[in-house]
Amino acid sequence: MLRSLKLEPEKCTGCLQCEMACSYEQEGVFNPAKSRIKVFTFHHEGVFAPYTCTQCDEAWCMHACPVDAIVVNAATGSKDVLNDVCVGCKVCTIACPFGTVNYNQDTGKVIKCDLCGGDPACAKACPTEAITYVDADQTGLERMRAYAAQSAQISPGS
């Protein structure tokens, strides 16, 4: 059973431990600007929403890549960016309708969540269990997926 990140804004306090854990795992520094997971603040509503790639089946980013630099990780189902292949054309950043692939101006490559190879640092660092790594069918991701399918461009013909 593949596992997914379960994101629960109602538990999030906006502390950004996840962003630091992510950037530390991925880049070796504490640097929210380079985090693959982002916490969005809804000040008016008093809500903090952690958000990252859902590793969607459509894999818009992967299909949009002109040089095959995004590949499926067979072990985790994540779509991983191959840094040595990525040319930094940024097409994946506009292709991903969830906005979860970002261009890193410092390296000239794109970055996205790769589930840390199966042991996501953000989930470990979250003090309130707003981010957990659980069996995919427990994540309530159906809703997100359903949304993705709705906005997906392909549907069975009539």
Partner 1 sequence: MAHVIIGAGPAGVIAAENLRKVAPAAAISIVGDEEGPPYSRMAIPYLLTGQIDEAGTFLRKHADHFSQRNIDLVHDRVDAVDSEASQVRLAGGSTLAYETLLIATGSRPIPPPIPGIELDGVHPCWTLEDARNVARLATKGSRVVLLGAGFIGCIILESLALRGVDLTVIEMERHVVPRMLNEVPARLIEKWCAGKGVRILTATRATAINRGGSAAGLEVTLDNGETLPADLVIAATGVRPNIGFLEGSGIDTDQGVLVDRRMRSNVSNVFAAGDVAQGVDFSTGNYSVHAIQPTAADHGRVAALNMAGRDMEYQGSVIMNVLATLGLVSSSFGMWNGAEGGDAAELVEADRYRYLRLQFEDDVLVGSTSLGLTQHVGVLRGLIQGRVRLGRWKDRLVADPTRIMEAYLAATRAIGANRRIL
Partner 2 sequence: MAWTGKILRVDLSSGTCIAEPLNMEWATQYLGQRGLASKYLSEEIDPTVDALSAGNKFIMVTGPLTGTMASTGGRYSVVTKSPLTGTIACSNSGGFIGAEMKNAGWDMIIFEGKADSPVYLYLENEKAELLPADDLWGLSVWATDEALHRKHQDPQLRIACVGRSAEAGCLYAGVINDLHRAAGRSGVGTVMASKNLKAVAVRGTRGVGNIKDPVGFMQATEAAKQVLADNAVTSQGLPTYGTQVLMNVINEVGAMPTRNMREVRFEGASNISGEAMHEPRKSDGKPNLVTNAACFGCTIACGRISTIDKGHFTVKNKPEYWGASGGLEYEAAWALGSDTGVDDLDALTYVNFLCNEDGFDPISFGATVAAAMELFEMGVLTEKDTGGLEMRFGSAEALTRSAELTMTGEGFGKELGLGSKRLCEKYGHPELSMTVKGQEFPAYDPRGIQGMGLAYATSNRGACHLRGYTVSSEVMGIPEKTDPLVTDGKAGLVKAFQDATAAVDSAGLCIFTTFAWTLADIAPQIDAACEGGWTMEKLAEVGERIWNLERDFNLAAGLTGKDDTLPKRLLKDAANTGPAQGRVNELDKMLPEYYELRGWNVEGVPTESTRQRLGL
Residues near partner 1 (CB under 8 A): 7-10, 38, 40-42, 45, 47, 49-51, 60, 63-68, 85, 87-103, 105, 108, 140, 143-144, 147, 150-151, 153-158
Told to check if 102 binds partner 2 by CB under 8 A, we report no
Q: How far is CA 121 from CA 18, 76, 111, 131, in A?
A: 7, 14, 16, 10
Binding mask 120-139 for partner 2 (x = CB under 8 A): -----x-xx-----------
Per partner kind, with CB cut-offs from 5 to 8 A, the member of partner 1, partner 2, none near residue 147 is: partner 1
Q: Which helix (H) or strand (E) holds 25?
A: helix 17-27
Told to check if 98 binds partner 2 by CB under 8 A, we report no
User: Cβ atoms within 10 A of the Cβ of 62, count?
Assistant: 21
Smallest gap, in angstroms, from Cβ of residue 102 to partner 2?
11
Q: What is the DSSP letter of 33?
A: G
- Fill in the amino acid letter for 40: F
- With respect to partner 1, which residue has the nearer C-beta, 1 or 44? 44
Per partner kind, with CB cut-offs from 5 to 8 A, the member of partner 1, partner 2, none near residue 94 is: partner 1
Smallest gap, in angstroms, from Cβ of residue 158 to partner 2?
41
Q: What 3-state class would DSSP assign to 7?
A: strand
Q: What 3-state class would DSSP assign to 148?
A: helix
Contact status, residue 118 vs residue 76, Cβ threshold 8 Å: yes
Number of residues in contact with partner 2 under rule CB under 8 A: 27
Contacts of 94 (CB under 8 A, 6+ apart): 64
Interface with partner 2 by CB under 8 A: which residues?
13-17, 20-21, 23-24, 27-34, 43-48, 106, 125, 127-128
